[in-house]
Amino acid sequence: MRDSRAPFFSIWRRSRMNIWIVDDEINLANGLKRAFEKSGYSAKTAKTLSELNQLLGAEIPAVILLDQRLPDGDGIDVLPAILKQYPRCKVILMTAFGDSRLVVKAIQEGAYNYLDKPFPLDAAKNMVERAVESIRFRNQAEFLISEGPNMLLGSSNEMDKVRETIKKIAQHPDISVLLRGESGTGKEVAARMIHSASGSKGDFVALNCSAIPETLLEAELFGYQKGAYTGADSDKQGLIEIADKGTLFLDEIGDMPPSLQSKLFRFLDQRSFRPLGSTKEKKVSLNLICATCVDLEKYVKEEKFRKDLFFRISVLPITIPPLRERGKDVLELASYFLAEFSKRLGKSASAFTDEVKELFLLYSWPGNVRELRNLIERILILKDDSDDTVRLADLPPEMLEMQHYMPMGTQARYMDGGSLPEMIDRIEKEYIESALAKCQGNRTQAAEELGISRFSLLRRMQRHGLA
């Protein structure tokens, strides 16, 4: 299987983005330059707007730290020209005057954020890091859109393992795969990936076993001959035959009626079947992929599902993890859907505020990827076209209900009251403590575990008195 995702991710992770510092305070500019170069960025300095113009003609900047007052003009005045030439560039205004009107004007002109002088070096590094991250997420999302929808997105270790498993099993013909996972995790997407990776010459044929009445399900799967029953006026191919040389995907396999389970088992055992009303066997060759969000082992014990069929369909089991267990994948997926629906709906939204990102990371996502996708679509349909940033005010009220932010099994500890920010602070502290304990105090590993940068972790540890 060609993993088109892998080379791209390696590119955007290691790419050296250009960071420019435009300030006539030489010591400040050079200090920032050294700090960013040490962090792996390409950094340049300029003392005036004219020097900045020379840089703009030669390279493409990712982030510009722009002083408000320069010897030959006001930084805010050149913001529109910079962003017109490089709409993806993030401009961070630096000001020593603390005038809120200037800040508002800068944001209105398209500035990403601002820094009040004097500022700690870590504050600048953290802000630049967030800006670069948003650029990379956006670039990644647009690349994935161009690759098509049949990809399991996310760079977490959990999803890397799923993709690697798919790569291995797709090399073998006539496979039987059981996809497990909660509703909305992307089981059909995984099934389509297996089909695509297998190089099958036939079609991908899908059937939801819970969506068709029992009386029609057999005919839908196996087909029938003319006269097989009242109303059968002509021959009809079943989905098994249609999927010959391809893939048959049976979603919600746990809802298949017991009477049909035995017939499906016979087909898998013999790789042949008889349409209703026929006496002739038909041979087919196909990949069978089943999916379920229920505990099939429990169903077997309760005699709701045949044991022999369970073992037959679960030769190659794959579990798709829920979104709440995939760390920073939620931000990658959110960026992907934001780019997708912005393009489809003709909207300009391209970023999330830090507060929204934090809530996305804490939220339990009971509906998993499907819920996230529907949320982003809803936000963009209702959002004002003039605002390109998704904010807390854009989220539905039900998403801010505290029970959705609880770590599993810890709800009771947080039901003693307090505002939403207070409770989120408590939960965040608990997560950080848990991650540090798991990683034996290694802050770099803990940051990766939490899906945030090391700088962000240190800042949060200081806020919670953990540093």
Q: Which of 321, 314, 284 is nearest to 177 (CA)?
A: 314
Residue ranges of domains in the chain? 5-146, 157-321, 324-400, 410-467
Same topology for domains 5-146 and 157-321, yes or no?
A: yes
- Between CA 56 and CA 232 the distance in angstroms is 72
Is the domain 324-400 a CATH 1.10.8.60 member? yes
Q: How far is CA 160 from CA 137, 331, 334, in A?
A: 18, 16, 18
- Between CA 330 and CA 76 the distance in angstroms is 34
pLDDT of residue 141: 55
- Between CA 184 and CA 196 the distance in angstroms is 21
Per-residue tokens: 345: 């709906």
Secondary structure (DSSP) of 250-268: EETGGGS-HHHHHHHHHHH
pLDDT of residue 294: 94
Cis before 118 (ω within 30): yes
Name the pTM for this structure. Answer: 0.62
CATH number of 5-146: 3.40.50.2300
3 state SS of 241 = helix
pLDDT of residue 59: 75
3.40.50.300, 3.40.190.10, 2.60.40.680, 3.40.50.2300: which CATH number matches 157-321? 3.40.50.300
Q: Is 203 left (phi over 0), alpha (psi -120 to 50) or beta?
A: beta
CATH number of 410-467: 1.10.10.60
pLDDT of residue 411: 39
Interior angle at CA 311, CA 306 and CA 315, nearest 5: 150
Of how many residues is the chain composed? 467
pLDDT tens, the chain, 467 aa long: 334 333 333 333 434 688 999 999 999 999 999 999 988 888 999 999 988 888 877 778 889 999 988 999 888 888 888 888 888 789 999 988 766 677 778 877 888 888 888 888 888 888 898 888 777 766 665 555 555 455 688 888 889 999 899 988 988 888 899 999 999 999 999 999 899 888 888 999 999 998 888 878 888 999 888 877 777 778 888 999 999 999 999 999 999 998 899 999 999 988 899 888 888 899 999 999 999 999 999 999 999 999 999 999 999 999 999 998 898 899 989 988 998 888 888 888 888 888 888 889 888 899 999 999 999 999 999 988 778 889 888 998 888 765 555 444 443 344 444 555 666 677 778 778 878 888 888 888 888 777 777 777 887 888 888 87
